[in-house]
């Protein structure tokens, strides 16, 4: 695995979020980006496809015609998702800072700091945006998995398999349970099926 490659730049994160680029430590943004792609993007892509994307970005061949499918995946699906997840994680470092005496809440002369309830509201909103984009990413991978051979490559060397279920987590939504359009037998009941119930081929025909 390539450990020092970012799939978005710190400036791209600033340009596409509410982060103020004049008063932010870019090292904190870099940490948030790295953490977000290692956790969330790797989970959606699976370790094998994630490593493939990192490698072709690192060696500069991402824009070559042979890697066009990966370029489309990166530009249209991975980066929008990563931007929102990185922003979600970066909000924590905006709220508090490490110091020699421990954690300190940020304060400025220009204004007061927000309270924990407001921070939680901002984080929930950021996470919702991230999960929406993540949902689009996972749909792209499922319906076009033949474009990305690494997505279906299964090994036993500690790799994370790609997660195909919805990134939206709710006690009322149980991916893998329900009827599937165009399927019969156990798969129609959501048993041993590799597609979650909300990936139906035709919503109007779901039983």
**Which residue would you say has higher pLDDT here, 45 or 111?**
45
Q: Tokens 């792209």: give the residue.
A: 140
CA distance 134 to 128: 10
Among 111, 117, 53, smallest CA distance to 82 is for: 53
Residue 73, pLDDT above cutoff 50 = yes
Query: Using one digit for the tens of pLDDT, what is the confidence trace for 136-189?
Result: 999 999 999 999 999 988 776 778 888 877 766 544 344 444 333 344 444 444
For residue 89, how many C-alpha atoms fall within 13 Å in the half-sphere facing its CB? 19
- pTM for the whole thing? 0.74
Banded model confidence at residue 2, pLDDT cuts 50, 70, 90: low
Instruction: Look at residues 197, 204, 199 and name the one whose alpha carbon lies nearest to residue 178.
Output: 197
- Name the β-bridge partners of 81: none
């Amino acid at each position: 695995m390539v450990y020092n490659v970012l799939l978005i730049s710190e400036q791209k994160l600033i340009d596409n979020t509410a982060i103020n680029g004049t008063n932010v430590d870019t090292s904190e943004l870099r940490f948030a980006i790295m953490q977000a792609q290692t956790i969330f993007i790797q989970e959606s892509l699976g370790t094998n496809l994630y490593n493939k994307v990192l490698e072709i970005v690192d060696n500069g061949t991402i824009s070559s015609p042979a890697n066009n499918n990966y370029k489309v995946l990166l530009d249209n699906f991975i980066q929008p998702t990563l931007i929102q997840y990185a922003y979600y994680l970066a909000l924590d470092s905006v709220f508090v800072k490490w110091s020699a005496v421990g954690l300190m809440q940020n304060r400025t002369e220009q204004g007061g700091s927000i309270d924990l309830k407001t921070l939680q509201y901002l984080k929930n909103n950021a996470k919702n945006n991230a999960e929406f984009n993540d949902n689009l990413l996972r749909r792209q991978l499922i319906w076009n998995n033949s474009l990305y051979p690494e997505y279906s490559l299964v090994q036993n060397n500690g790799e994370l398999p790609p997660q195909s279920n919805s990134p939206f987590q709710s006690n009322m939504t149980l991916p893998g349970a329900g009827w599937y359009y165009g399927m019969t037998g156990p798969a129609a009941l959501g048993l041993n099926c590799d597609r979650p119930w909300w990936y139906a081929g035709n919503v109007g025909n779901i039983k």
